[in-house]
Chain A
Amino acid sequence: MAPFVRSFRGNIHRFLIDVQILQYLIILVGLFNLSLCLYEDQVGKFDWKQNYVGKIKFASFDTVSAAKKIIVATEENVIAALNLKSGQILWRRVLEKGYGGQIRALGGVTDGDLVSVSGGVPAIVRAWDLATGHILHEWPIAEQNHDRIKDVKWHIKDGTLHHILPIYNSAVEVTSYDSKTGDKLKTRRVSAPFITQETECVLAAPYLACLKGDSSLAVLLLVHLFDTHSQPQSVTINTIFGAGAQGPYHLESILGEEPIISISADNNQRKRILLVGEVPVPIQRDIVGDAALYVVSIDNEKILLETTYKNGVTEIVASELLTSKPMPNISTSVTHNSLLSPTIIASVCPRQTKGVTCRHLLASEDHSVALLQHNKLIWAREEALANIVAVEIIELPMSDRDQEIETEFDQKESIDVDSSWDVLSMMFRRIGSQLKQAKTFLQSILSLTPQQSNQRMDLVRDKFGLHKMIVLVTSAGKLYGIETRKGEIIWQLRVRGIRGFSKRSDAIILYVQRGSRHFPYPPQCVLLAEDKQTGEGIVYTFNPITGQPLDGLVKLGYRIKQSMLLHVTTDDFLRGILIFDIRDKVHVYPKGATAIAASIAKNTYIFTADQTTGILSGYSLSYSTSQELISHKVWELLLSPKNQRITHVVSKNPIERVHSQGRVLSDRSVLYKYINPNLVTIVTEGVGHTHKNTLNLYLLDVVSGAMIFSIMHKRVRGPVHVVHSENWIVYSYFNEKSRRTEIASLELYEGKIQSNTTVFSSLTTTKLPIVERQAFIFPAAIESMRETITEKGITSKHIIVALANGGILELPWMMVDPRRPINPEVREEGVIPYMPEIPIHMDAIINYNQSVFRVSGIHTSPSGLESTCLVFVHGLDLFYTRVAPSKTFDVLKEDFDYYLIVIVLAALLISSYITKKLASQKAQKQAWK
């Protein structure tokens, strides 16, 4: 019995050890799971973030706090404090989106408390802590006249907020509140019967200045707002300008602490200023019409600053206000790249021991902000980046050495297959290039002067294609090139006089005509926009790597309705663009690509969607000749604007590739995907009483004009975000009934047999696809959605979702798969059982604690690695990172132990050799026995 017991004990012991090993294994696996997200030391390694505030609306120097700073309020509904020395954001508060957060007034900084008025009805008054940006007090103003909110003027002074509303033909109503508590202090009515709807009034506290009449008999009336007994003072235009000034006159209040107004005349050719007070004092001096004015006070002396901009030179001329005596020690003139028609929006001139030094905060026409101290630009912020309208991510060019190799195997000659390869010349070229390489190598060894390169050394393509250039187009018409490694701005370009397509919600279109793979041809991008004055189309070409304009601004002379990038290239690898004007005429840009465009015209189709009329039309170019492209309409349909309004037209990413044609079911049969590259999703929102809060989604084949599918949601409303990729559509909306955000997904399948295995044709496929559908609850508000994209489409797709709380979620498409079974009887591979709610895992937030706000768009781009997708998120902030939806299956880990594997391999090799030797010796010995 004893040995049995012993062996039993031994077994138990072994069992316990096994259990321990199992535990370790479980812990190990657990660790493995944890390591899917980012390690702490990887923060900022693959990603970067930049914060912006937007175009400045109000600004004020904070000179009362211990830490000097600039308080700004912007068009993006942001209140922020900027560091005086560096321009960095000290704190930033993002208010409500859109109309509800519009900042209407900002004040009280000189008194040490910051008060802002924002929103519409009700307007919200907030008092902020200057040092930290925390809200100290918040209260709403109950507005009496809802429709007159835009006529209300606000004045913040000495802890009191004045709400000033002109009542037509009777008086000006001034309601005063305690800006902290919101207590109504006083309501006054100052008689002003002359104010009508047409009267132009500006606030020059404590006066309200109104211009009555438009001719030379026009009168300027000044109403003292805090004195109910005073009579309105009147100043005629003639006393200001003298005789001979022509209308129309325009009234403006000059920024600064003093109540001063400027009146422009002669079609804004000249203007004069008027000091408002007990006795109004007109200054008898003409000021050029385009000068921006600001009044700053130094030792109780009022100084007028006139800012003019000519040929890149910004000139600030200071003069004493009353005497017009010039002050050359304050006047400056500065030339800097980041200034473009700037205006002073805040200025401060403290007297120091050395004398007076002025600091001016300048806001340029291209939304950039700069701080000018004396005549030196201290810092500049590119605030145009807070409003990006178009993004492209472009590969960087090869390094000089690679380019030499490329020229050696010049592509044009290497296609020559007719055995006419010139072997000798090729060899010479080869030897030549190798000699050159040897020369540079020797030079680098002997530390001789390196060859002057025409590009920055670090701006070259890397091995995995992860280092790229982001080309950004902003609504201000400014273009940027940002490299992806650190987010550094490499170049910037201003295109003046352009605007986005007004019919397409101010979108500017950016196409990559030639990538950087076609050395020696430079890469080329093209911008399509509208002329600011005429609304006609313009084309602007530039090099996306260096930011050099190529052909300059080309005015097209017609309005653009639709445009398209051709998929074929000309002989110099340039892809032409088809431009469709409002007279249905087709143009090709550049002209040289017409022949190429005509050669594929038989199979070229264009579609247009008009939001106002609801008409969608398709055109074919099949009657084109080689000289001219001729379009003819092949289909037309109407989404009646009486019932619905088109909100989204979403097509697939043209560079997308679908690797897998079908899906394997549990019974090993294949369900083939319906992959139609011409499929476009059209989302409409219902209008009118009966159809309000309905959402329609249509899938339309834009080549044949056939409707593929339509679906309708009741009692839901926007904002709608749509992602359309491969054979699926994922869209989000707000469910009014359940008061929650939902995500619905559709998936299209051809069925068990594929209609055409080689190529898809919209014209031959008449069978409608099977549409799978499912909806999910999403426990967060969505700002934007986009799918990931990789080079070959092998990697599974994830959806990048920007949440309203500042997070960016990487949501696997598997989670919104409409085939998730409700009752999992037969399990399919890679299908999770249905759960109505999509959980948000914190480790799927790809921007960890780097919250980004007001996301307006997400751009994804494939990298050189199949596993990795580059993600660029823009909005108020810019965020760039890379994601690997199927994990980095094609890259070795960073800490991969090369030495270990070499040692192991070597040891194995040696040991196998030795054992072979030993074995043969043993065999020999045995043979002797």
Chain B
Amino acid sequence: MYTIYIFISLLVSVSSSARGSELDYDGWLQLRLWHAFNDESEPIFVERGNVTVSSVRSGASVVGQNGLLQPHINQLKTLAKHDGKYRLKAVARTSLGNEITFLTSLPACYLLGSDLEDVITIWLDSAAEPIVVSISSPGPCSTENPFTNMWTTNVVVKYPDGGPVPDTATYIQKLEREREARERGEAKDNRSFLARYWMYIVPALIFVVLSSATNPEAGGAGGSSQRQ
């Protein structure tokens, strides 16, 4: 059960500092966000803001972005009406100086339904380089005007868990315990079969005798004398 709790806590905790030791490196990360609301196959990207993750290990981040303008909201609404996708381009700059471009999208109606609340998840690989930047929104789906034009953005940084290893130590301990228990048992047990199991045999015998006594065919004196 304990492992399950670890997993759950892992999933719940936004900054998974509990298992930060899996990551050998620490560094910062900067994301520049561009988004597109146009309802066409070719996106027209507009600057949205930027996210700075000061420490990838702790996941601490600062989000700086402007609110949406009314024309953009209208565009978003038309996009949502046509069941279109809001696209987000993220250009990540790592502490090593690499620049990587990511693209992610989600149905526009979810953004409207959650009043511009979204979660940006950054997945890192074992070398602390970003491999995925993805956007998600809790929803629900709606095409109405949002209450606010300000973004509520959560940034989550995730990195790979350590792989499982065969748990031989616990198993060997368990075997040891069992062996010890058996040895302890065997040390005392050099008595005969009857001496060892008399406590089971006697009640069984009594039961057999009793049942035969109550048997009408057997009947008679033997049974009654037993009862006396």
Contacts and interface: CB of A to CB of B under 8 A. Distances in A.
A6 to B, nearest CB: 8
B100 to A, nearest CB: 5
Contacts of B159: 710
Q: Name the residue among B4, B119, B125 with the largest chain A CB count within 10 angstroms.
A: B125
A637 B7 contact: no
Contact of B131 (A12, A638, A822): A638
Given A602-B83, A637-B102, A3 B221 contact: yes
B163 A7 contact: no
B57 interface: no
A237 B134 CA distance: 67
Nearest to B137: A766
Given A707-B158, A768-B11, A636 B208 contact: no
Q: Which A-B residue pairs are the 8 nearest by beta carbons? A: A4-B222, A713-B163, A632-B41, A7-B218, A712-B160, A775-B164, A636-B103, A710-B160
Contacts of B47: none
Interface in A807-861: 818, 822-823, 834-837
Interface stretch (A220-228, A335-343, A548-556, A690-698): A690-698
Interface in A7-23: 7-8, 10-12, 15
B87 A772 contact: no
Interface stretch (A27-35, A84-92, A639-647): A639-647
Contact of A712 (B141, B162, B212, B217): B162
A4 B138 CA distance: 81
Contacts of B162: 711-714
Contacts of A639: 125, 131
A334 interface: no
A11 B87 CA distance: 85
Given A632-B41, A643-B126, A770-B7, A763 B106 contact: yes
Size band of the interface chain B makes with A: 35 or more
A775 B165 contact: yes
A696 B164 contact: no
A774 interface: yes
Contact of A622 (B42, B83, B110, B218): B83
Interface string B190-223: 0000000000000000001101110101111111
A711 B161 contact: yes
Given A822-B167, A835-B171, A3 B218 contact: yes
10 contacts: A7-B218, A617-B103, A632-B43, A634-B85, A634-B103, A635-B102, A637-B132, A640-B131, A705-B134, A768-B11
Contacts of A707: 121, 123, 131-132, 134, 158
B75 interface: no
B100 A15 contact: no
A777 interface: yes
B213 A4 contact: yes
A715 to B, nearest CB: 10
B91 to A, nearest CB: 12
A427 to B, nearest CB: 49
Contacts of B226: 4
Contacts of A622: 83-85
A777 B172 CA distance: 14
Interface string A334-377: 00000000000000000000000000000000000000000000
A281 interface: no
Contact of B164 (A602, A763, A774): A774
B40 interface: yes
Contact of B123 (A691, A694, A710, A777): A710
A424 interface: no
Contacts of A8: 208-209, 212
Contacts of A768: 11
B49 interface: no
A417 to B, nearest CB: 32
Contact of A777 (B83, B105, B166, B209): B166
A696 B141 CA distance: 35
A696 B124 CA distance: 11
Given A622-B83, A622-B85, A772 B119 contact: no
Given A7-B217, A777-B166, 16 more contacts: A1-B225, A10-B212, A12-B208, A622-B85, A634-B85, A637-B102, A640-B100, A643-B127, A696-B126, A707-B131, A710-B125, A711-B162, A764-B139, A776-B166, A818-B164, A834-B167
Contacts of B131: 637-640, 698, 707
B168 A836 contact: yes
Contact of A694 (B107, B126, B136): B126
A709 B11 CA distance: 10
Interface string A608-648: 00000000010010110000001111111111100110000
B129 A643 contact: yes
Nearest to A743: B166
Nearest to B218: A7
B212 A704 contact: no
Contacts of A865: none
Given A7-B222, A10-B212, A707-B134, A640 B102 contact: no
B70 interface: no
A710 B136 contact: no
Interface string A775-813: 111000000000000000000000000000000000000
B224 to A, nearest CB: 10
Contacts of B61: none
A6 B138 CA distance: 82
Given A3-B222, A4-B223, A705 B138 contact: no
B15 interface: no
Interface string A44-61: 000000000000000000
A838 B71 CA distance: 62
A696 B160 contact: yes
